[in-house]
Amino acid sequence: MKSYTTYYIWKRYPDYLRKHFWKEHTFWTDGYFVCSVGNVSEEMLKNISMVRDEKEGGSKC
């Protein structure tokens, strides 16, 4: 979706965008996602993960 958005915006406004984005034709940057689980200990997370994996038949921590 991001690549399509960038493509069409560049197609519609090339002169304006060249003034601000002279190096690359992109608006997006690499990033990462962080999520908090609240006040839970590492041991409790491992236990929850092990129980879930046992139910789903996946690998254990």
Does the global pTM surpass 0.85?
no
What pLDDT, on the 0 to 100 scale, is given for residue 35? 72
**Sign of the CA dihedral running 22, 2, 28, 9:** positive
Q: What local confidence, expressed as pLDDT, does residue 18 receive?
A: 85
**Structure confidence by residue, pLDDT tens digits, 3-61:** 788 888 889 998 988 888 877 766 666 676 767 767 878 888 788 888 888 887 755 44
- pLDDT score for 12: 93
The 3-class SS string of 2-24 reads HHHHHHHHHHHCHHHHHHHCCCC
